[in-house]
Every structure is written in structure tokens, then in C-alpha cells.
Amino acid sequence: MSSAAFSSISLDPGCFGKGETTIRKRDGRRLCIRGSVASSPQSLQFANTKTQKSEEIVRIGVLGASGYTGSEIVRLLANHPNFGITLMTADRKAGQSIGSVFPHLVTQNLPDMVAVKDADFSNVDAVFCCLPHATTQDIIKCLPKQLKIVDLSADFRLRNVNEYEEWYGQPHRAPELQKEAIYGLTEVSREEIRNARLVANPGCYPTSVQLPLVPLIKANLIELRNIIIDAKSGVSGAGRGAKESILYTEIAEGIHSYGITKHRHVPEIEQGLSDASRSKVTVSFTPHLMPMSRGMQSTIYVEMAPGVQVDDLYQQLKIAYEDEEFVILLDKGAVPHTRNVRGSNYCFMNVFPDRIPGRAIIISVIDNLMKGASGQAVQNLNLMMGFPENSGLLYQALFP
Amino acid sequence: MSSAAFSSISLDPGCFGKGETTIRKRDGRRLCIRGSVASSPQSLQFANTKTQKSEEIVRIGVLGASGYTGSEIVRLLANHPNFGITLMTADRKAGQSIGSVFPHLVTQNLPDMVAVKDADFSNVDAVFCCLPHATTQDIIKCLPKQLKIVDLSADFRLRNVNEYEEWYGQPHRAPELQKEAIYGLTEVSREEIRNARLVANPGCYPTSVQLPLVPLIKANLIELRNIIIDAKSGVSGAGRGAKESILYTEIAEGIHSYGITKHRHVPEIEQGLSDASRSKVTVSFTPHLMPMSRGMQSTIYVEMAPGVQVDDLYQQLKIAYEDEEFVILLDKGAVPHTRNVRGSNYCFMNVFPDRIPGRAIIISVIDNLMKGASGQAVQNLNLMMGFPENSGLLYQALFP
Amino acid sequence: MSSAAFSSISLDPGCFGKGETTIRKRDGRRLCIRGSVASSPQSLQFANTKTQKSEEIVRIGVLGASGYTGSEIVRLLANHPNFGITLMTADRKAGQSIGSVFPHLVTQNLPDMVAVKDADFSNVDAVFCCLPHATTQDIIKCLPKQLKIVDLSADFRLRNVNEYEEWYGQPHRAPELQKEAIYGLTEVSREEIRNARLVANPGCYPTSVQLPLVPLIKANLIELRNIIIDAKSGVSGAGRGAKESILYTEIAEGIHSYGITKHRHVPEIEQGLSDASRSKVTVSFTPHLMPMSRGMQSTIYVEMAPGVQVDDLYQQLKIAYEDEEFVILLDKGAVPHTRNVRGSNYCFMNVFPDRIPGRAIIISVIDNLMKGASGQAVQNLNLMMGFPENSGLLYQALFP
Amino acid sequence: MSSAAFSSISLDPGCFGKGETTIRKRDGRRLCIRGSVASSPQSLQFANTKTQKSEEIVRIGVLGASGYTGSEIVRLLANHPNFGITLMTADRKAGQSIGSVFPHLVTQNLPDMVAVKDADFSNVDAVFCCLPHATTQDIIKCLPKQLKIVDLSADFRLRNVNEYEEWYGQPHRAPELQKEAIYGLTEVSREEIRNARLVANPGCYPTSVQLPLVPLIKANLIELRNIIIDAKSGVSGAGRGAKESILYTEIAEGIHSYGITKHRHVPEIEQGLSDASRSKVTVSFTPHLMPMSRGMQSTIYVEMAPGVQVDDLYQQLKIAYEDEEFVILLDKGAVPHTRNVRGSNYCFMNVFPDRIPGRAIIISVIDNLMKGASGQAVQNLNLMMGFPENSGLLYQALFP
């Protein structure tokens, strides 16, 4: 991170003046933030809801603010101590206020939406890019180079641009940027993310699958063949676009599989597992759409390596995640429920013996809009900016 | 079937008098039903809602009428041309009317509930037994022997009483009856059911799993090892008893696995698949509870036998079910949705290629209260009584 | 009704030949239906699902078959003893099968959808018109005059075409047809409907409001001023068109009012109540949209006329509806639930004392797609064709 | 507030040492909090999730922590800068951890539940009492007198103990405490709450009704007669106790009225409105239960005083609430949705003209567990302890 990259952070180690606060970075350096914002949690919190934040904090642009991942970024930043939104784009909602597009955010004092072509990036330090795939690569190409970017689209997730073309049906138009992009599965690639300018935020399904499987594969505890993933997602993953297939009447009180063998998150999952195993992994992946707005469960059926017991898997996951704030291995036997992470950035997981000897069942749950999208994006930008990784993310699940 | 078993059916082949109707049985014999009921669909239908049915039709007892499978039997029999309810038992609701226990059935003119110990079976020809397991075996033991019985509990599903004891935690108290009982997966055991006195109606999960797998296993098209079943159920399967875990607030907007490796439907599934394969089959079975009142999907992951293609599976299922009314193999590529069988007795199924070569994904959906319980029970009693198998079951799904 | 209007009904009083059935009409005349269909409920029922119906029954066209009211007509006619579908139109789905548009009806053997401009009415006796308002009047104008028509749109509900223009924003283009149309609130206008050629099927809200209020107003039991209607509707009333506002994510787990003071069902309600009172009635009407696919409750707050007691209201409703099959006044104190009429043609209602002396609370519930649309439409065509009013409508509610 | 009442707050105006932070109270005095907690929002936030809070903050007991209002208190306090939980009671869950009772709070490091009879209040400064009515009065009588108490039950809401007896069916057993209790509708009684020891936290329905009506009644803008309240609630208001009537299957996809004229929130509403009007007010109040876990809408139908316009109502509400953080009068014409306050402490409201001249429709929405229960409780304790009223309450709604 360069101190020149954005105006709000000073690396001056001597900054103990009035109205400044020291943030201890993991590497021991300290950051200082100027302004009254940091001096008192109370005034900060009033500020978050009723007044604009100090201009000295990191200035954030949200590109594509009229979708669900965009509004989730806004929700999270409402209480983020270091990020303040100075730009919001939404082409079809240009000129509208956040309150007219998302009435649940009506109390937020934010700039009106503008078309992305009219966006002024001169007072923006970092952006969350919540645009559709394909559009994204064209827009990110044109952004000022000093901006930090977390891209929530699929455009920079696949390292192999041929694979991108195969799954997305068109050539990649920003292969150079692709090379620069860091895949942002936070717990797996924390150090690279810390130093990244452009982070490709993982998809929701790939997050829920890789978090449990990567440590197990790295430790050679499970077979790479016949990994079977039966995933269940809430509807918000399909976005806010008007489609018959996601009307209330078409979704309530039922379930169905979709995208069988063809879901675009498959190559992303296989890329991550192949990286972990250093060999090509092909998975069986079947997503299901069900009547919940938020939430995702991956039920993963695996064969254990010879001689491995379920407890070995449990211990490996424990080692991998015991110091992590957002990845929680439940007590043995406890079953993760999606409801228990709703609205939070947590991934809950556990591992169970199968009836068939030598097999195990792994279950992980996330909120697809949080750890599966906007929550992990904030987590990543926190890292990129040198803030505590959990800043703005301290939400317990909303239950019931 | 013996003509003495119940008063309403005469085998007299010469019965063409006024007010009688001929029913063509599959075996070519004809049945006659006396009375005005059968003479006109219109008057019959008025009768169903506003008046009592003729006493000359088959007189039905519903034991355990205050639960969801019991009320579903009542719903179906409201429009059944040949069955009329003369007895309803519900120990905790004894003395109450159907309308006070199930207000959606308030227009039905039915006898009040009585405690099972006070039940008079003298005007009953057949019973649907919708009682909890364990209770059931004690009660069925005491029923008059001339009654035809369809038992919706688990008590007579497992041929091996030791296995019953292992999974249900107590010795079986009616092993002789167990020997007599016929497992009632209609499409698989139609001929035995036709001649049965006591039918053990299959569980919901086992129905959804066996219908697609039995024909494939019989044809040696899939491997018996590593059959992985990820099943999703609506909440009505848990019954109407008050439990914290199935409160609206605990179920809405989420999903979770339960009974991992330990669900009591496992031995029933394995029994059915083992019968089909003539060897011991062990399956991986993980049920999930999700926010829908009715519906069930089994997503089944299998390895195909060497040289077998997905199309072979499709053709085998087509052969198995093309003449069946209630089992529908969808067009290739069409995905079964639980919503599309809600309230109906259909099982929709299809088979898909997996991404992993040599594997296939089989999906079947049913309404757990219909083909998974009361619908199949009526289908079975129709057979046992010599009526057309679809009598009273001609409901299209209620969508949306 | 003229016997020439359609081919399937003969008024010949002497028809007792093989394969014919007598239907007793309310006026004492008998109708005969030829063909094997009516000869046996069993063969009829097989026919309904697996084979085409006899050509001798009433041949039905469904215009606008790709929406929810259209599919509901199809569902009901699947088991209707006297109606068979010979034409289905859906402009945007022309060329598609019912199973591809509505997979829950895939077992129905029906003609493919055609564009309305390509429709051949030569083998159609009656139509259900399930088209959007405004479109409807243009199409009905061009239909062959011998067709019986039940129109489910709003186009012919308002007798005063100026009022139509005021609420629908454009002049009425078929005022002559408007004069011919009979408003089809079955229980209120049964005799006119019986003789009608064109019936304007009531809106869902107006049905739920008028059924309880019309008898009370006619009996001068309630004041005409300050009738306050707080109505709650399921989402299917908004149709199957893709709109952001009715996405699952926008509807689940919440409620909101809409169309406050401006809902287009207001003039229809006021017309009905004004007719009943023979004076101009203005109501307060606030609809709410809530997370259920089907169902509608109107909670109606009224002032009773001087000296009137709640019991007087109850008795009046009892008198009005005790012989009705589809309007059920519950026992005193019993609260109507929308779940208890789901999928059925019933209206359940009751009346309660208010805390404020002199006031009463009236609650009525219907399934908006059934008694609020397609169910009442079938009820009306039954009347128009001389069949028992409940033909094809004998569904108990689907609960849970 | 006395500085002796709890250990964590010092009024020493000279406290600017390391690790202390100044909180500006509304009256200009400053409060100081010792300890590292307040020194940095970041370390505070880490502390909230992974470590115990400083012992120097206000020590909170949650009585009845196994219900939904209790768990909501825990959720809110997880991020409260000044409150830390040191005691949790739950008689039936005594000995259990929060994570076993509420898995969504498993990351919280909290004391295990104890039976209330075993509770040690020696390290408790204030309690939230989330117990059932009747139980509550007995327990609060026995609490140490120095404790600040916010009682979420109904036991101290009704000033008139005879009225309590009438509605709750038993004499009040703590009439002296009743006299001391302050009714905690924050925006209406802020100053009394600030100085209270025992606050009776309002019911959910009364909160949603009084917030819009009290200012209008005080300003004589609406008639006191014929106030008609049609309220719709989420299911969490019924608690977590296992009851058939709130099973998923009994609630999903439907709506019904309940407690017509007899709901126990009626006298509380009437007490509040009578206070505002200085005369006896009787209201019509009909609650409805619908399929949402959280949320509440009151649709209120009123007659305006002679000469009053809807805009007068709007302006009065604007004056009343423009400086309030949690009560939001929406822009004219904007309709409040319950979804837009879910999980937040906001009340959104608006006022609309009725079709009937002289009448208006007022709509208010809250989250019944937040502003309708635990959120307002925290707001009240913040006031009682001299903290910013919004401490720990800065949640934007969770949508979708």
C-alpha cells in the first residue's frame, strides 16, 4: 500500500495529536487517521447515520449501486469507521437518491446515483465494482490507476482467459488486468490481497466450497476424484433484475436444481481446488434455488484418503481456522444452519462421517451477499488499505 | 380380495340395473357399485360436499385423523367416488369435529373424532392408519381381521425386525403381522399390493429415491457403491406436533441438514435397493429441511456401470414408467421442480449427465404428503379394493 | 341458453340410451350428455389425465393461457366432467405446449398455444378470456357471436364507461358489449348469469368485499358511511409478468400497502355496494401485498345501523348463504384463515363485535385465483351452460 | 443517574488520560469511560467478538435470555461500546452456553445461562428483563435496588393495576413497583426515562400505534372516536415456545386475524392515547399474524378534526420527529414497507389521504423485535445510563 494512493491515511508514526487515533497494523506499523471521526465511538456513530463522514477517511466509490451487492456494500459502510462513500453509480437509476432506489437505506446521507460515464473519480480512493460481468472489464480498464479496486463480478476470477471465453461466451477484453488481479478468498490469499491493487472477489458458491476444501486438499486428506457438491442458494444471488423465474410466485414453497453441470462457478471452484492440490480437479456441482432471500449451503460429499478418519479432517480444519474471525468450525456434531449466518460475514462449517465407510460429508454455510459477496469484499479492502480486517463487519447474524 | 370383506362391492356380473355402474378392473372382471352415488358424476359431486355418501360404498376408518397425513386422506376421500369415511380417531382431539381440528375441511360432513379405544369398527371395511410408529403395531394387532389396512407409519416397512429394533430402539411387538405386510411402493409391487390385507405404505424419502433407482439397479445400469442421496424436504413431513425446531421462525428463510447418517428412512431405502440388486446396498443419505410446507426433492449422484451412458438410464426409466399415470419422466433436459407436483400424486423425475465422466445425476420430486404418504396410500387401497388405481387422485398440482 | 349454442348438450328429455347421463337442472329440466365420458366416473377420470376428452362435451377456448388465471382454468378443467379445452392462446408463447409454459400441467394432453390472431374458433363453444384489460375489449368484439364468454379482465365490470375511462385512463372501445355484459358475482346475480352470453367475472378484492357486505347492505343493517376495508392479497394477483416489485426478494418476509385510495378495484366495489343500497357508496379501501402466492383476506370495519347487533349481521349472513355451496359462514367466533380456502372455490366469512360500541368487524377470505378469478369463472360458465354450478370445483383446500 | 449506580462511569471532568474517552452528554456534561475499550474503535470491535469486554463498562444481566427478545439483546450488545453482559438467566436452559441455545451467537464469549434463582447480581449494574408477564413482577421485586431495569414484559406497562387484573386475569403482585415504573416509549417520555430506575418497555403494537398517533392527538388534529387500527405482525412476537399455531406449516403462505377485540395490547394503546388526549380513548384494534419472522405494520384509519387536512398531519409529524434518529417520516407519498426496517431500530411512517373526505390513513412500520422490543429497550437503557441514545443501535435494515 502506498501512502500516496489515497488522501486519508498518514504513515507518520508520531501522530498522537488531538483527534487522531492509532491503528495497529498486523505488521507492526501504525496508521493514523485525522479528524474527529476516530476520536470517539459515539460521535462517530452519530456521524454515520445523520451526518457526512469526515473527508479524511478513505473515499469509496460504489459502481453498480442499484443491485443487491451494491446495497449491501452501502449497508456495511454505514457503520465502517474508515470508509466513506463519495460516489455511487447506477446507469438506469442515474439521478436518483439511495432512498428512492433502496428505501431501507433512506437515512443514509449519500450522493445521488450517477451514470458510470459521468462519474468523477477525483475524490475517490477505492471502488467496489458491483457491475455485471463483461461490462466490468471494460469499465475497470478505464479507471484511474491509483484506485484500489475490489471487483465483485466474475470478470477477473479465472486466471486462464481461454477458460473465461469458454464459460462466458466471449473473449476477455482486459487480459493484462487479469494478470494483475488477485483472487480474493481472504483466508487463503491474505498476503497477496494485502498488496493488491485489483482484487477479484470470489463467487458465493466458490467461497462456500473452497473454504472447507482447500485446507483438506492441501493436507492430502481427501481424494481429488468424485468430489460431489450439492449446493443450495438463496434468491438474492440472482440479482434484482426482473425475471419471471425469480418472481415470488415461482420461488416460494419449492426447490429446484438449475445450471446442472453448466453453472459458471464451476471453473472457479475447480481452479481453486486445482491450485490447492497442484493437479487438475474436476468436481460434480449441482446448485439448487430455494425460498430464502439470503443464505447458501454447500453439502460436500468426499472420499477420504486411505487411512484418514473424519477426525483428521476436523482437526485440520481446526488448525486452519482457529485464529480466523470469520470462519467458524462448529463443535463436533453441531449442524450449520444458513439462518445462523444471515446478515453476517461468517462461514460456519463442520464435517461428519458418512454411512459409507471411508467417506465424509462436509457442510459449510454463508450468507451469499456477505461472505459470499459484499462482506468478503469489505474484508478484502480492509486488508488492502491496512485496516483491521473486521472493520465494519462486526454484525452478528439476524435471527430469527 | 374377497367379496365378503366389505359390503359395498358386488361381483355379480349381471348388475346393470338403475343406479349401478360398472368398473372395469385390469384383470377384466367387473365390479358393480350399488346406489345413486355412482349413477351420475354430478350428483356424486354434490354429495361429496354437502351430504353423506351412500352407505353402500367402501366404508373407511381414518386412525390418527388429527395429523397432516390424516387430513390429507380426508381431503382426497372428499372426492373419491368409492370411499366414504365412517370413522375417525384422534385420541387428543376426541369429541371434536373435523372442522374444529382442520378448518379447511369444515364443509365435510363427517363423524366426530373418537379415541381409538372407543372406535367401533363394525361399519368399517378398510382403514388408513396414520398413527405414530410403535403405537401403530399395538393398534393394528387388535383390529378386526377382515379389515383392509394401509399403514402410513414406519412399523411394517422393514422386513427384518432386528433392523427395526436397531433403528427404532425397541423390539417389534407384532412380528407376525410384519410377515404378512406388503411394502406398498405401488409401481414396484403392484401385484402383491392388489392381494394384500396389510400394506406398509412407504416413507416419503424412500419413495422419492426408489422410484428412479429401482429400475436402474434392476437393469444393472448403475454401480451399487457410492450412491449419494442429497434430499430436501418440506416441513409437513415433521408432522403437526408442537416442536421448537419447526416453528415458523426457526424454518423460514433458511436450510439445514438433519439426521446426518442416522435418518430412519435409511434402512428402508437400503432394503428396497438391496432387493432390486439382490445384494447389500449401503447408501449415503443426507436429508435437509427447508421452508416449504409440502414437497421433496432427492438429488441422487451415481456412478454408471462400465459402458453405460446417461441416455441408457433415460431409456430405462422411460420403459419403466411410460404406462404409469403417476410417475412422469420429463422431457430430456427438463428439470423437475417440487412446486410442479404440489398437492398431486405425481412423481416427476429426470436424469442428467454429470461433469465427471461416467457419473449421472438423477432428480426426483414428489409431494411428501401425497405420493410420499396419503396419495400413495389411497392408490394402494384402490388397488386392494379393485378400483381404478387413480380413483380420487386426479389432482393436478396447485401452482403457484 | 340455446341448445344450438354448442354441440354437446341435448335437451331431449327422452335420452336414456347407453352412454348418456341425466343432469338435473335447478329448474327441473334435464340435460343429457352423449358419449362415454359421462357413463362412468372412472373412465372419465382416466380420460382427464391421459386421453383427450370426447368431442361431444362443451369445447372451451382459453384466451391468455400463459398467465396464472389461465393456468388455473386449465387445472380446473382437467377434472371438469363437461368442459374440454380445444383452443389455447398466448401470443408470446405461441407454438409452445402447456407443459413447457406450465410444467405442473405437463400431463395434460392439450393443444399447443397459438397467437390469438391465429385462433380458430370453429370448434369452440365457450371461452374464458384471461387477457389484460384494454386488450380484452378489442378481442371480445371480434369473437363469433355464438360463443359464451366469461371475461376475467376488468374491461366489462364497470357499467359506467365514463368511470372506466377515469380509472383506466382511456375511453372504452366496446360500449355496446358493455351494455350486454352481466356482472358475474355468482351468488348475487345467479339468474342473470344463467342467461348471459358475456359475463364480466368480478375482481378478487370486489368478490371478497361484496359477498359479505351486499346482504348486510340490502337488509339495511350497516351504515353506508365510513366502510373501511383493509385487504391483504397474495402475490399471484399481480400476475406472471416479470416486475422487480414482485421478485421473491422484494416480497418475502414483509408486508406493505399499495395503491392507497387509487386501486382500480375501488369503483367496482363501490358499484356493487351502491347497487345493493340504491345510493352512492364511497369506501375506504387499502390493499396490502404480502408473502403468499394465493389468498386474500378483507378485514372490513363497519358501523351498524341504529339498534342493530352483531348477531343480526350474523343471522342475515346465515340466511343469505346457508344454501350456498361456496360461501361458508363459519361458526360464531371462528376466525377465517386464508390457508383454509387455498386452492378451493370457497369464501369463508364471519362477523365479530368491535370494542367500539355499535361497530362490527367482518372478515372474509378467498383464494384470489379461485373464487377471486378462475374458480368463479368456471362456476359462472357452469351456470351459463346449464350444468351443476359446482361441476369441476369440488376441491377442498390444500392445507398445509 | 447517580455515578454510584454502576462502576463503569466516572463524572470526573478531568479524565483525559491514556485510554479514556469523552462522551458529550446532551446536557453538556461529559462522561468518561476508562479502559482500552474506548481508545480505539478498532480494538473495541475486535474485543466485541473475540475477547471479553473490559470490566469497567456497564455490566448487564439478561434475564430470560433463551427467548427471542433476549437473544436480540445479546445481538445488540455484541457491538455496544458501553454495555457488556455478565449474567444470563434461562431456567430451562440453565447450564447451557449461548451457542447451544442460539447458534447464531456462538462466536460471543459470554457466561453460561443460569437459573434465575441462582443468579449472582453482585457484578451486574443493569438488567434487561425478558421474562413472561406475571413471572416478571415476582422477580423484579427481589432484584437489588441499585440495579437499573428495563422490563420487556407487560407487567409494568399499565398504570392502573385494576386494568392489569382485568386483562391479565390475576391481581398485580407488585403495585408499589408499578408506581415507580416509567413507561418507556422513548421519543414520548425521554426525560422521565433518563431518570428512571425501572422502565416498562412498551409492547410492539403499542409502539407502532402511539408513535404516529400521540403527536397528532396532542395537536388535536384527529378525532378521538373511531380510531381503527388494522395491524399485521411477524411471528417472532409469539415467542419461541413450541405451539401448534405457530408451526411453519400453520403460518406459511397465509394470514389470519387473531385476538379480535381482546388483544392485551389494547389497554396499553388506549392508555397512551388517553394520556395524549387527556380523555378516555377507545380504539378498534385487530391484529393479524402473517408469514414473516420480523416486522410489524399498523394501518390506522382516522377521522381528521374539522378543517384539518392531511398535510397538517404530515407537518405535525415532521415537527415531532425531524430531530429524531429512529423515527422517520418518509417523503410524501412514499409507502413504508416492513422489510425496510427489518433488523433496525427505525420506525418508518407516513400519512395518506383517504378516499372518504375528512379521513386519513396512517401507516407505521417497525421491526417488532427491535423498536418493538429489544432495540427500544437498549435505547432506553442508553438514556438511563447517560450514553448516546443510539449506542449499539446503528444497524441499517437487512434487505433483502
Q: What is the pLDDT of residues A382-396, one digit of tens each?
A: 999 999 999 999 999
Is the CB of residue C316 less than 8 Å away from at least one CB of chain D?
no
Torsion of CA A6, A12, A15, A20, to 10 degrees: 10
* CA geometry: angle B238, B244, B248, nearest 5 deg: 75
CB atoms within 10 A of CB B65: 28
Chains that touch A (3 or more CB pairs under 8 A): B, C, D
Q: Residue D24 and residue A38: Cβ atoms within 8 Å?
A: no
- Assign a CATH topology to domain A3-202+373-385: Rossmann fold (3.40.50)
Closest partner CB to A240 (pick from C236, C247, C293): C247
Higher-confidence residue of D46 and C205: namely C205
pLDDT at D72 over 70: yes
Question: pLDDT at residue D37 above 60?
Answer: no
Is the ipTM higher than 0.90? The answer is: no
D291 part of contact set with chain C, CB < 8 Å: yes
Residue B261: the pLDDT is 86
pLDDT above 60: residue C6: no
Q: Does B10 score more than 60 pLDDT?
A: no
Give C184→chain B minimum CA distance, Å: 22
Q: Tell me: the pLDDT tens digits for A267-281?
A: 999 999 999 999 999
Model confidence pLDDT, tens digit, residues C234-279: 999 999 999 999 999 999 999 999 999 899 999 999 999 999 999 9
D45 pLDDT higher than 80 = no
Q: Please report all neighbours of B, defined by 3+ CB atom pairs within 8 A.
A: A, C, D
Taking the alpha carbons at both ends of chain B, their separation in whole angstroms is 40
D56 pLDDT above the threshold of 80: no
The DSSP output letter for C58 is E
* Superfamily for domain range C3-201+376-385: NAD(P)-binding Rossmann-like Domain (3.40.50.720)
Dihedral of CA B133/B138/B141/B143: which sign? negative
User: Comparing A254 with A25, which gets the higher pLDDT?
Assistant: A254
pLDDT at D261: 86
Sheet of strand D30-33, all strands in order from the earlier edge strand to the far edge: D9-10, D30-33, D21-24
**Domain-by-domain residue ranges, chain B?**
9-202+373-385, 205-368
DSSP 8-state assignment for residue C265: T
Chain D: residue whose CA lies nearest to C351 = D260
Q: Which three cell numbers stand for residue B346?
A: 405425481
Q: Which residue of C has its CA nearest to B45?
A: C394
**Res. C170: pLDDT tops 80:** yes
Between A333-342, B121-130, C26-35, the lowest mean confidence (pLDDT) is in C26-35
CATH topology of domain D3-201+373-385: Rossmann fold (3.40.50)
B249 contacts chain D (CB < 8 A): yes
Region B369-382: mean pLDDT is: 98
Nearest CA in chain D to C295: D254
Res A261: pLDDT: 86
Instruction: Report the C-alpha gap between D126 and A379 in whole angstroms.
Output: 35
Averaged pLDDT, C57-67: 97
Instruction: Write the residue in A38, A42, A294 that is nearest to D23 by C-beta.
Output: A42
What are D238-283's pLDDT values in tens digits? 999 999 999 999 999 999 999 998 999 999 999 999 999 999 999 9
Cell numbers at D261, concatenated: 377485540
- Which backbone phi and psi does D82 adopt, to 5 degrees? -125, -10
Is A103 part of the contact surface with chain C (CB cutoff 8 Å)?
A: no
Q: Up-side HSE of residue A142: CA atoms within 13 Å toward CB?
A: 11
CATH superfamily entry for domain B9-202+373-385: NAD(P)-binding Rossmann-like Domain (3.40.50.720)
Q: To 5 degrees, how large is the angle CA C202–CA C205–CA C206?
A: 50
* Residues in chain A closer than 8 A to B346 (CB atoms): none
The continuous run of DSSP H or E covering B296 comes out as strand B296-303
Scanning C133-172 for CB atoms below 8 A from A yields none
- For C103, which residue in chain A has the nearest alpha carbon? A250
Task: Name the pTM for this structure.
Answer: 0.90
Cα–Cα distance for residue pair D130/D245, rounded to 1 Å: 22
Mean pLDDT of the A340-355 span: 98
Q: Does C350 touch chain A (CB under 8 A)?
A: no
Q: Please tell me which of the candidates C244, C249, C293 has its beta carbon nearest to residue A249.
A: C293
Contact residues on chain A for B253, CB-CB shorter than 8 A: 234, 291-295, 339, 342
In the predicted model, is pLDDT for residue D122 greater than 70? Answer: yes
Residue A317's nearest CA partner among A331, A303, A338 is A331
Average pLDDT, chain C: 88
Rg (CA), chain C: 21
**Could you give the CA distance from residue C137 to residue C121 in angstroms, rounded to a whole number?**
17
**Which pLDDT tens digit goes with each residue over B141-194?**
999 999 999 999 999 999 999 999 999 999 999 999 999 999 999 999 999 999
Q: Give the architecture-level CATH label for domain C205-372.
A: 2-Layer Sandwich (3.30)
Q: Which has more confidence, A40 or C89? A: C89
Q: Residue C256: list chain D partners with CB under 8 A.
A: 297, 335-339, 365
According to DSSP, the residues that pair with D386 across neighbouring strands are: none
C-alpha closest to that of C254 among A115, A81, D348 = D348
Across chain A, what does the average pLDDT equal? 88
CA distance C30 to C15: 9
* Residue C301 touches partner D, C-beta closer than 8 Å: yes
Tens digits of residue pLDDT in D81-118: 999 999 999 999 999 999 999 999 999 999 999 999 99
Rounded to whole angstroms, how far apart are CA atoms A147 and A153?
A: 17
Give, as one character, the DSSP assignment of residue A303: E
Contacts of A104 in chain D (CB under 8 A): 339-342, 344, 396-397, 399
Residues 6+ apart with CB under 8 A from C315: none
Query: What percentage of chain D reaches a pLDDT higher than 90?
Result: 85
Gap from B300 CA to chain A (nearest CA, Å):
10
Identify from B100, B247, B369, B399 which residue to disrupt to test chain D contact, counting D C-beta atoms within 10 A and taking the largest count. Answer: B247
The partner residue sitting opposite B328, judged by closest CB among C107, C294, C346, is C107
Q: For position C186, what pLDDT does the model report? A: 98
Lowest mean pLDDT among C16-25, C264-273, C310-319: C16-25
Whether pLDDT at D5 is above 60: no
- Fold observed for domain B205-368: Dihydrodipicolinate Reductase; domain 2 (3.30.360)
> Rounded to 5 degrees, what are φ and ψ at B118?
-100, 5
For residues D43-54, give the mean pLDDT: 36
Q: What is the pLDDT of residues A280-316, one digit of tens each?
A: 999 999 999 999 999 999 999 999 999 999 999 999 9
> Cβ separation of D240 and B244 shorter than 8 Å?
yes
The DSSP secondary structure of A176-217, one letter per residue, reads HHHHH-EE--HHHHHHHHHT-SEEEPPPHHHHHHHHHHHHHH
Whether residue B23 has pLDDT greater than 60 = no
Q: Would you state the pLDDT for residue C261? A: 86
pLDDT of residue D334: 98
Number of A to C CB contacts under 8 A, please give it.
Answer: 60
Place of cell 433502496: A102
From residue B279, how far is each of A80, B300, C361 by CA, in Å?
61, 20, 66
Interchain CB contact of B173 with C (< 8 Å) = no
Q: Is A103 on the interface with B (CB under 8 A)?
A: no
The CATH classification number of D205-371 equals 3.30.360.10
Beta bridge partners of A61: A87, A127
Backbone angles phi, psi at D12, to 5 degrees: -50, 115
Binning pLDDT at 50, 70 and 90, where does residue B56 land? low
Residue contact D232–C290, C-beta within 8 A: yes
Residues of chain D positioned with their CB less than 8 A from the CB of C261: 352-355, 361
- Please answer yes or no on whether A38 and D41 come within 8 Å at the CB atom: yes
Across the interface, do A230 and B299 touch by the CB < 8 Å criterion? Answer: yes
Residues 6+ apart with CB under 8 A from B81: B37, B38, B44, B57, B391, B392, C41, C42
